[in-house]
A and B are shown apart, each in its own frame.
Chain A
Amino acid sequence: DAGVTQSPTHLIKTRGQQVTLRCSPKSGHDTVSWYQQALGQGPQFIFQYYEEEERQRGNFPDRFSGHQFPNYSSELNVNALLLGDSALYLCASSLGQGYNQPQHFGDGTRLSIL
């Protein structure tokens, strides 16, 4: 039973560039959430996708956008990269949007901005 898989594992970009991160949810899960974890901090919620729509969003600018595909996989896109976007980006999946549904996390994508 495959867990949450994310690609790539590491990425180096320069300021102003654009990046796309990918996530495949755990088998049987239909909801995907994205989190940003800066060094030494706890994860911060970016947004959540369910039924191919963004259902809720954290306090992140419009430079951060996403997509969910019919097979429940998801992408996170970040435009006009800033140095402050350097972080570990975590994808989490769950069955439904329920607040008591445990979220299963992938190992993340480490994004470094030069």
Chain B
Amino acid sequence: AQSVTQLGSHVSVSEGALVLLRCNYSSSVPPYLFWYVQYPNQGLQLLLKYTTGATLVKGINGFEAEFKKSETSFHLTKPSAHMSDAAEYFCAVSRGSTLGRLYFGRGTQLTVWP
């Protein structure tokens, strides 16, 4: 069974501060991991993905995430928050046997204060 836990439904940071959004997964086999961002009244946009290879993955808009198998985590970070980063962020996993089906976490709402 797949499950994704996003710790903290709301995260607030000041502009220029570090952004850290947490994601833990449970999977009986190595998963493929994704972070998506959703702006108000829009669909989901892919930020980054981990499939195989390097465990530190760089994405768009300055975001990156590190796959840590021992901790079953895939936390999303950005060194310096910008006002435009305010949005809902979703962590998702998939694995081969379910052919691309994505299992999403409940999301983390990021607020950026000026």
A residues apposed to B, CB below 8 Å: 4, 6, 31, 33, 35, 40-45, 48, 55-56, 58, 90, 92, 94, 96-108
Contact = CB atoms under 8 A, between A and B. Distances in A.
A98 B100 contact: yes
Q: Interface size for chain B: under 10, 10 to 19, 20 to 34, or 35 or more residues?
A: 20 to 34
Mostly, the A contact residues are loop
Interface stretch (B36-44, B70-78, B79-87): B36-44
A84 B45 CA distance: 26
B46 A58 contact: no
Contact of A99 (B4, B42, B94): B94
Interface string B40-55: 0111111001011000
Contacts of A48: 99-101
A100 B100 CA distance: 7
Given A42-B104, A48-B101, A107 B42 contact: yes
A101 B100 contact: yes
* Residue of B101, B104, B106, B107 ringed by the most chain A CB atoms within 10 A: B101
Contacts of B114: none
Contact of A41 (B43, B95, B106): B106
B99 A100 contact: no
B67 interface: no
A72 B102 CA distance: 20
B98 interface: yes
A33 B105 contact: no
